[in-house]
Each structure stands twice: as structure tokens, then as C-alpha cells.
Structure 1
Amino acid sequence: MFQLSFKKKLRLLSNIQFQNVYIQKKRIYTKRFVMFICLNHVHFPRLGISISKKNVSYAHDRNRIKRLIKESFRLVQNNLLLMDFIVIVKKNIHLLSNKSIFYFLQKLWIYKN
């Protein structure tokens, strides 16, 4: 049975981990998100999230979007390759409903595979 949790080990935490993904320069562009990807040497996929105050000004909106990104990753983590992912949010995504943001995220994960 698959475990669908989002533990600390599944997150990119340090600046060095983020820089390693950015250096690879492999990215996927969509209308709402940019995803940076690179292979990792651990036995599970990891997620990093970057939402700038310039793109989403209110903290409650940034937190809501982070929760949606984490939840979508949690649900598909067993189908992903052993890679590090950084999801960057573009402008005005906070104007969308939770359902539509989650839909765009699901499409992003499917497009990735």
C-alpha cells in the first residue's frame, strides 16, 4: 500500500538544494506555473515551492496556494520519477479558485510525466 504523506524529507529545505535544481536549467512553462526539475540521488521525489510577494501580495493567499501545491504533490508523489521539483507561481494566480488551481497543478504533474 502506498503512503500518501508529505513528510519533511520530501521537501527541499536549504538554499543549496534549491540552487542545485536551478543550475540544471530544465524547466516546464505553463500559463500559471514554472516548474524546475532535476534528477536527485535519494529514493523519493522532493518538492520546493517559491511564491514571491511581488506575484502574490497577501500572506493568506500565498499560504493557500502552498497548501494546494503540497496536496497535489502528495497525491501524485508515488507516480513521479525520483526528481527534485521546484514550483514557481506566476502573477494573479490568487484570483483563481482552489478548484481551478488544483486542476492546473494536476495537469502540470501529468505533463511532467
Structure 2
Amino acid sequence: MNKLAFSRELRLLTPEHFNSVFQQPHRAGSPHLTILARNNTLDRPRLGQAVPKKQIKLAVDRNRFKRLVRESFRLRQHALPAKDFVVIAKKSANELSNEELSALLDKLWQRLSRPPRKK
């Protein structure tokens, strides 16, 4: 089996999965996107995406954003902790090139891989 696949087990599929992440998330963000994370009881990370039409108007642009996020997650999945992640797009995300978006995602994945700071 392909170790870098993005199978169904690696996705947040139901509203309950998303809502659990929205309850008390760890956040990492930039002016272009926000990633919410919450520990899960599984032995693998999972990904969900929220890319509203209000933020990114054209379907081709929303799909490009989602495709790049999926690819970034797929390549990093083995380095990520067992958490559920939700990536939320902001308006300015559409202004980033593919390379800039990939670099930004890598930086945010690294930030969320570290243990959260105590308050």
C-alpha cells in the first residue's frame, strides 16, 4: 500500500468531526489562512478544510487551494502528531502562488507539531 496516500481514514468527514475541532482548538494562523488542531484518539492525523465561497469566489481557485492543502498534508502526514486539523481559508489566500502557499503551510504544520505552550 502507498504510504503517502490520502485515504478516507485521513479525512474529517462528518459535522461531528469538525465540531470537535472547533470546540477548544490549538491555532496556528497567518493573514491568509488559519489551521485549527485538536488531539484525537487515533494513531494518525486527519484533515478537514473550510473554504467558503465568500472568501474565495471562483470554484477553480477554491479547488486549487484545497488541492494544495491536501498535497501538503499528504506529504507531511507521517511527521504530524495524532491530531485533527481544519484548514480555514481567508480572502487573501487566493493571492498566494502555489510555492508561497506550500511554504506557508509547511511553516504552520511545523508550528502545530510542537507541543502547545502553557498559559
Structure 1 residues without counterparts, runs of 5 or longer: none
Q: How does 1:22-101 map to 2 (within 5 A)?
A: 22-101=22-101
Return the TM-score normalized by structure 1: 0.93
Comparing 90-99 and 25-34, the one that deviates more: 25-34
Segments of 5+ residues of structure 2 without an aligned counterpart are 114-119
TM-score, normalised relative to structure 2: 0.89
Counterpart CA distance in 2 for 1:25 and 1:10 is: 18
Cα displacement string for residues 38-85 of structure 1 (whole angstroms, at most 9, x for unaligned residues): 110111100000011111000000000000000000111001110000
State the shift of 1:26 in Å. 2.5
**CA shift at 1:91, angstroms?**
1.0
Residue-pair matches, total: 112
Query: Could you tell me how far 1:31 is from its partner in structure 2?
Result: 2.2
Cα deviation, 1:83-108, whole Å, max 9, x if unaligned, reads 00001011121122111111111111
Amino acid at match of 1:110: Q
Q: Which residue of 1 aligns with 2:117?
A: none
CA distance in 2, matches of 1:30, 1:63: 20
Q: 1:39, 1:25 → 2: CA distance?
A: 9
Following TM superposition, the consecutive aligned residue runs of length 4 or more in structure 1 with deviations greater than 6 angstroms are: none
Secondary structure, aligned partner of 2:74 = helix
